[in-house]
Structures are given as C-alpha cells and as structure tokens.
A and B are shown apart, each in its own frame.
Chain A
Amino acid sequence: MTSAGEPGAPVRDPALLEGLVKSFDPGGAELVAELLTTFLDTAAASLADLRRAFGEGDAATVHRTAHSLKSNGATFGATNFTDHCRQLEAGAKGGDLAGLGPLVDALEADYAVLGPDLARTSRELMAAAGGAGG
C-alpha cells in the first residue's frame, strides 16, 4: 500500500516549483516562497488533524485532509507525499479506515523530510527575490 515510499526515492521533483516560479514571473520566486510559507504554516496542523481523525475513526476528515494535502503536494512536486495522500484519500473514501495506519505513518515520515526541504527552498527563493527571508 505504501509502494510510492521507496527508500532513496527523491523527495520531490524540482521541475514543478521551477515551472510555477516561471508561470508567476515577474516576481514568481517571491510568490512561490509565499506559497511555501503558507504550506509550511499549515501542513503540520493538517497532519496532526489527520492523525487525530484517524485515531477517532473520523473517515470524512481523513478523506478531506488527505485530499487537501494531496493537492498541495502535487503543486510542489512532492511525489511520495502526494502518492501517500492519494492512497489515504482513496482508502478513506468508503468510510473504512482499517489498514490505513501505515499510510498515515508514511505520510508523517514524508513530511519529516519534505518540510525542511521546502523550508530551505523557500529561503533560497526569497534570497533570489532579494527578500528579507534570505
């Protein structure tokens, strides 16, 4: 079920963020840095919500939260994170959370790597944009 989380697989595809920066140019680096900040400000709380909802058997919240995180992951090219969200969303859709525990664990493990990676990228983008965040 956690097939996307192969050891050694890249955290994310950098081409996605590069494309996003270009599509927002001029000023794309600063805007994407802002997007990353928004994600980093909310993702930990979303994962905590997801963990809590999973513990309480609240499949609707697991489904919805995985759906949102999946979309964010796809925006930033976070391949494993997105795939685990997709599997979790699909699994929770029917209302049965049985067997989804490893996916919740995998998602948290993905974010433990993805979060610092995106934080670093955000700082680099701010530096490139000449912002105070560099």
Chain B
Amino acid sequence: MSGEPAAVLVVDDDPVNRQVLTFGLEKQGHRVVGAADGAEGLALLVKEPFDAVLLDIVMPGLDGFAVLERIKGDPRLATLPVIVISGVDEMDSVVRCIELGAEDYLPKPVDPLLLRARISAGLARKHLGDLQREYVEQVGHMAEAAKALETGRFDAHSLAAVAERTDALGELARVFQRMAVEVLGREQRLRQQVWRSF
C-alpha cells in the first residue's frame, strides 16, 4: 500500500536537488537510488525493479522528455509511475510530460510535504494498477482452465495461485477446481464402466 516502503529512482543532474529529494523520501522510509543523468537512470531501470521514478526535465544528454518516452515505450517499464520535477515557470514542459504519460508533477523548489503526498498517491495508484493487472491475468487463467477442462487437459494445479485468493475470484477458482475434479472423476468412472461392458 501507499504507506509501505518503496524503491524510488531519482533522476536529476543537480546534486542539491537529488539530495533534497533523497532526504525527503528516505525520511518517509523509502529506498532511494539516484541517477545523475537520463542515460544512467534508464540503465538502472532495466537493472533493478523500482516502484516510482522522480524525473527532472532539463538535463544534459538525454533530457526528461527522452527518458519518459523510453520508459513509456518499454512494455517492462510502461506502468511505472513517473513524477516529473519542474520549475513553476515550466508549465508547458509539464503539460508535454503529462501527455507523454507522466503520472504527476512536483514543482521546484521541492516541498517535502508535497513530495510525500505526491509519491504516496503515485505509489497507491501503482498498487491499484498492479492489483487490477493481476486480477485480469488470473481471470485469464480461469478461462484457460475452462478450455482445458473441455478438451480433457485440465490440471488442477494450474489454478493454485488463483485459488489462494481470499476474494470472490478465489472462491470461484476453488469451486471450479472441485467441480473439475468431480467431472474428471465421473468421466473416468464412466470410461471404466464402458470398458468393462465390452
């Protein structure tokens, strides 16, 4: 949830800004990794998992726009919340970043209380998004299991993860597992009876 410690990547070429953000996030209990430019930030993103990115816009080399485009264009990273950091006089850049897929923005100079609010909100949205994706994926497992049952290839273990859920989908998976085992048992008994009758 939003209150849990998260891994946050801070991409900012300015050492003072990086430090302000790092101190603020560490005070909230988050683990922070800093990158001094866009290329270093992207390299870190493919090397280790992060829960959120704080991204400066004006940087030498790969700027914030280029980094954001690469993050959103990479299916492995596209769902990562990116909060851009910008001066209050850079609203046109902020709008462009939001259009490119940034989650939110944080004005400079960074207010630690606002930082806390924005990062918590971003992490909470990511958590909800992750839950939704997992739910959809597990509904897909249920559909695959139903097809497998129809074609006689059902494996009860294929629903183990879904059946562990404590919600209605988990209950559905458990009922499906029991019914599938029953159906398969009946089929087997029927085949044995037919076989014996010859």
> What residues of chain A have their CB less than 8 Å away from a CB belonging to chain B?
16, 20, 23-24, 31, 34-35, 38-39, 42, 63-64, 67-68, 70-72, 74-75, 86, 90
Across the interface, B16 reaches (CB within 8 A) one of A38, A64, A90, namely A38
Q: Nearest chain-A residue to B89 (Cβ)?
A: A86
Contact B19 A24 (CB under 8 A): no
Contact B15 A42 (CB under 8 A): yes
Q: Which residues of B contact A42 (CB under 8 A)?
A: 15-16
Q: Which residues of B contact A67 (CB under 8 A)?
A: 58, 87
Contact B19 A35 (CB under 8 A): yes
Q: Which residues of A contact B58 (CB under 8 A)?
A: 63-64, 67-68
* Distance in angstroms between the alpha carbons of A18 and B24 in the assembled complex: 15
Across the interface, A38 reaches (CB within 8 A) one of B15, B27, B87, B110, namely B15
Closest approach, in angstroms, between the C-beta of A25 and any C-beta of chain B?
A: 9
Closest approach, in angstroms, between the C-beta of A108 and any C-beta of chain B?
A: 19
Interface centre among A35, A39, A71, A75 (most CB of B within 10 A): A71
Q: Please list 22 pairs of residues, one from A and one from B, whose beta carbons are closer than 8 Å in the complex, sorted by A's number.
A: A16-B109, A20-B112, A23-B112, A24-B112, A35-B16, A38-B15, A38-B16, A39-B16, A42-B16, A63-B58, A67-B58, A68-B14, A70-B87, A71-B17, A71-B87, A71-B108, A72-B16, A72-B17, A75-B20, A75-B108, A75-B110, A90-B89
* Distance in angstroms between the alpha carbons of A68 and B109 in the assembled complex: 11
Would you list which residues of chain B between 20 and 63 have a CB under 8 Å from chain A? 20, 23-24, 27, 58-60
Across the interface, A75 reaches (CB within 8 A) one of B13, B109, B113, namely B109
- Main SS of chain A's interface residues? helix
Q: Nearest chain-A residue to B113 (Cβ)?
A: A23
Q: Can you name 8 extra interface pairs (CB under 8 A) apart from A24-B23, A75-B16?
A: A23-B24, A67-B87, A68-B17, A71-B14, A71-B17, A71-B109, A74-B108, A75-B20
Q: Which 4 A-B pairs have the closest CB atoms?
A: A23-B112, A75-B109, A74-B109, A68-B14
Q: Nearest chain-B residue to A27 (Cβ)?
A: B27
Q: Which residues of A contact B130 (CB under 8 A)?
A: none
Q: Which residues of B contact A35 (CB under 8 A)?
A: 16, 19-20, 23
- Residue B155, interface by CB 8 Å: no
Contact A72 B14 (CB under 8 A): yes
Q: Which residues of A contact B137 (CB under 8 A)?
A: none
Closest approach, in angstroms, between the C-beta of B165 and any C-beta of chain A?
A: 41
Contact B19 A38 (CB under 8 A): yes
* Distance in angstroms between the alpha carbons of A74 and B24 in the assembled complex: 17
- Residue B171, interface by CB 8 Å: no
* Distance in angstroms between the alpha carbons of A23 and B27 in the assembled complex: 10
* Distance in angstroms between the alpha carbons of A67 and B111 in the assembled complex: 18
Contact A31 B15 (CB under 8 A): no
Q: Nearest chain-A residue to B108 (Cβ)?
A: A71
Contact A24 B27 (CB under 8 A): yes
Closest approach, in angstroms, between the C-beta of B70 and any C-beta of chain A?
A: 20
Across the interface, A64 reaches (CB within 8 A) one of B24, B60, B109, B112, namely B60
